[in-house]
């Protein structure tokens, strides 16, 4: 029994036919964290070839269990934006398309709910679809097929366009916060959600301005000491009040075991609005949307990488994923509570004759957002399947709209594609996520010991497999590099 205690009961479950007497002269120890099994000493009488083979096979099995246990703790958070159900043609998303990704997703976040500007209650943004047509229930019922899946409802997410100020005024009143919390609790319980995701719509940072070299240097210095009042005159109060909202929501949810998570939206200044040290104890995890630093809406005169992982030369120091991760870590967030967001789409701009010939970003003399895609039909945005359909390949070698892809061997900045303007037409520049860059970000997540990845969102990945025949290539690439 002494040996049994030293080895641990879980090791014996791999070798049920072996008994303590077989190991009188052996000391075996294993360390799951290091994923190793060491044989220190053994009597040749006991460890003949057959037994040694059995031990090796058992050790491999034990190692596999340990590795799988480690992987299972890594989250794959998948956002599902119900807006995708209303697109046309090949971009139209049906709930049946969720069967494939839910093999990989640990959490599914339903986007999006909103806030009633009069009552401050949590409400469906599309009641006809979400409630009357019972889409809420259809989505939460997926847990019956995928028992380990947790389904959350997200509020905000940049989709709640009516009266943006309500996200701040709600914070300022205890009564308004209570109305929100109580209505959220009721809505979640009524439709079988496992929790709430706060994709709170704080005012975003001001976009970068086009400047001379000297002006850029001064702007960078000034940006380091930015006055919060330029973005929100009551930023300090709202920071404290948001912390109170999170704490109060957690207390209200605790009895029912509801999850509470948070999504940091693009270009929201965490220094101004997020008291990291006070927030993280009351959150199950935090999704960092480290993308859309550059968009044609924010930057209509300059095109650049929308979702760089690391800092680029002559750019704002905080407009990259690594900065956001490090900020949260340095301010007290545990590694395993941070989830890195990965987009499934590209941002596009129109190039002019003066935009140059190389396509190397940043590119000035831009003429605003690129043309809408044939499926998503939204200027300045292309789903991954729309991007890959435009890339040069054996089946698409002619035509003015073919894009030349430029990869990123460094894994730091992202992939882009372009075609230059000609006499009759504008050119196109698109910065986008592809399976390679998504995989690089997953590798980064693993190297930093972060909690996982967030795919934003499933309806813009290639869910039909039109590019290569493989469905959800961005999700798959990221998942298998964790």
Question: DSSP labels for 121-136?
Answer: -EEESSHIIIIIT-HH
**What's the confidence (pLDDT) of residue 129?**
98
**pLDDT reading at 101 higher than 70:** yes
Last residue of a domain, one of 21, 42, 69: 69
- Res 225 pLDDT > 80: no
Query: Based on the domain organization, do 149 and 167 belong to the same domain?
Result: yes
Tell me whether residue 404 is in a domain.
no
For residues 40-55, give the mean pLDDT. Answer: 46
C-alpha–C-alpha distance, residues 434 and 294, integer Å: 17
**Sign of the torsion angle spanned by Cα atoms 448, 452, 455, 456:** negative
Is the model's pLDDT at 247 over the cut of 80? Answer: yes
Strands, E assignment, 57-169: 75-81, 107-115, 122-124, 150-156
Instruction: Tell me the pLDDT tens digit for each residue of 254-271.
Output: 999 999 999 999 999 999
Distances (CA, A) of 386 to 376, 405, 434: 8, 14, 12
Describe the chain by its helix, strand, coil percentages, rounded to 5: 40, 20, 40
Least confident stretch, 35-49, 226-240, 264-278: 35-49
Instruction: Looking at the structure, tell me whether residues 122 and 20 fall in a common domain.
Output: no
| Domain's final residue, options 53, 69, 85 | 69
Per-residue pLDDT at 376 exceeds 80:
yes
Q: Given this model, what pLDDT does residue 227 score? A: 58
Task: Clarify whether residues 271 and 199 are in a common domain.
Answer: yes
Answer yes or no: is pLDDT of 23 > 50: no
Does the structure show a pLDDT above 80 at 34?
Answer: no
Q: What is the per-residue pLDDT for 46?
A: 42
**In the predicted model, what is the mean pLDDT of residues 158-181?**
96
Nearest to 250 by CA among 317, 297, 198, 324: 198
User: How many domains does the chain contain in total?
Assistant: 2
More confident residue, 468 or 209: 468
Where is the domain boundary, 25, 54, 69?
Answer: 69
Predicted confidence at residue 289, as pLDDT, reads 99
Q: Are residues 167 and 304 both part of a single domain?
A: yes
Q: Residue 53: its pLDDT value, please?
A: 55
Give the tens place of pLDDT for each residue, 116-168: 999 999 999 999 999 999 999 999 999 999 999 999 999 999 999 888 899 99
Within a domain: 468:
yes
Beta-bridge mates of residue 338 = 286
Residues 61 and 193 in one domain: no
279 shares its domain with 139: yes
Which among 177, 168, 157 is positioned nearest to 113, based on CA atoms?
157
Same domain, 138 and 55: no
* Same domain for 241 and 170: yes
**Residue 223 pLDDT > 80, yes or no?**
no
**Alpha carbons 35 and 40: distance in angstroms, whole number:** 16
State the CATH number of the domain containing residue 160: 3.20.20.80
Euclidean distance between CA atoms 418 and 168, whole angstroms: 40
Mean pLDDT (whole number) for 262-281: 98
- The percentage of the chain sitting over the pLDDT mark of 90, rounded to a whole number, equals 75
0.85 exceeded by the pTM?
no
pLDDT (tens digit per residue) in 353-372: 999 999 999 999 999 999 99
Q: What is the CA radius of gyration of the chain?
A: 26
Q: What is the pLDDT of residues 63-90, one digit of tens each?
A: 444 444 444 579 999 999 999 999 999 9
Are β-strands 415-419 and 404-406 bridged in parallel, bridged antiparallel, or unpaired? antiparallel
Region 31-45: what's the mean pLDDT? 39
């Amino acid at each position: 029994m002494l040996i049994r205690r030293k080895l641990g009961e879980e090791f014996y479950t791999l070798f049920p036919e072996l008994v303590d007497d077989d190991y009188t002269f052996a000391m075996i120890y294993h360390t799951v964290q290091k994923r190793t099994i060491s044989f220190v000493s053994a009597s040749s009488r006991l460890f003949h070839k057959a037994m040694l083979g059995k031990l090796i096979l058992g050790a491999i099995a034990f190692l596999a269990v340990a590795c799988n246990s480690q992987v299972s703790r890594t989250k794959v958070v998948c956002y599902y934006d119900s807006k995708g159900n209303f697109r046309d043609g090949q971009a139209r998303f049906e709930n049946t398309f969720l069967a494939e990704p839910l093999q990989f997703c640990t959490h599914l976040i339903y986007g999006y709910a909103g806030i009633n500007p009069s009552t401050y209650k949590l409400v469906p943004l599309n009641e006809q679809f979400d409630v009357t047509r019972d889409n809420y229930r259809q989505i939460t019922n997926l847990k019956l097929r995928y028992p380990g899946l947790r389904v959350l409802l997200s509020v905000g997410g940049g989709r709640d366009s009516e009266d943006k100020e309500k996200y701040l005024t709600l914070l300022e009143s205890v009564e308004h916060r209570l109305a929100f919390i109580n209505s959220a609790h009721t809505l979640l319980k009524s439709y079988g959600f496992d929790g709430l995701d706060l994709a709170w719509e704080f005012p975003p940072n001001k976009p970068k301005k086009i400047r001379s070299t000297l002006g850029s240097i001064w702007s960078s210095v000034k940006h380091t000491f930015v006055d919060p009042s330029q973005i929100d005159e009551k930023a300090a109060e709202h920071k404290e009040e948001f912390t109170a909202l999170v704490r109060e929501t957690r207390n209200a949810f605790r009895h029912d075991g509801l999850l509470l998570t948070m999504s940091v939206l693009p270009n929201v200044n965490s220094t101004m609005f997020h008291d990291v040290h006070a927030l993280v104890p009351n959150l199950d995890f935090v999704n960092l949307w480290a993308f859309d630093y550059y968009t044609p809406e924010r930057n209509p005169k300059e095109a650049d990488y929308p979702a760089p992982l690391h800092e680029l030369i002559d750019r704002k120091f905080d407009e990259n994923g690594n900065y956001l991760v490090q900020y949260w870590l340095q301010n007290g967030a545990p590694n395993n509570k941070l989830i890195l967001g990965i987009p499934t789409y590209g941002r596009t701009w129109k190039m002019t004759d003066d935009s140059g010939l190389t396509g190397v970003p940043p590119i000035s003399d831009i003429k605003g957002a690129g043309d809408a895609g044939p499926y998503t039909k939204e200027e300045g945005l292309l789903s991954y399947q729309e991007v890959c359909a435009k890339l040069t390949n054996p089946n698409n070698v002619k035509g003015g709209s073919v894009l030349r892809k430029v990869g990123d061997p460094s894994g730091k900045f992202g992939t882009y594609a372009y075609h230059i303007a000609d006499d009759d037409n504008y050119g196109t520049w698109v910065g986008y996520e592809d399976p390679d860059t998504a995989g690089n970000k997953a590798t980064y997540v693993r190297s930093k010991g972060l909690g996982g990845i967030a795919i934003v969102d499933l309806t813009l990945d290639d869910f039909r497999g039109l590019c290569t025949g493989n469905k959800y290539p961005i999700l798959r690439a990221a998942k298998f590099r964790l």
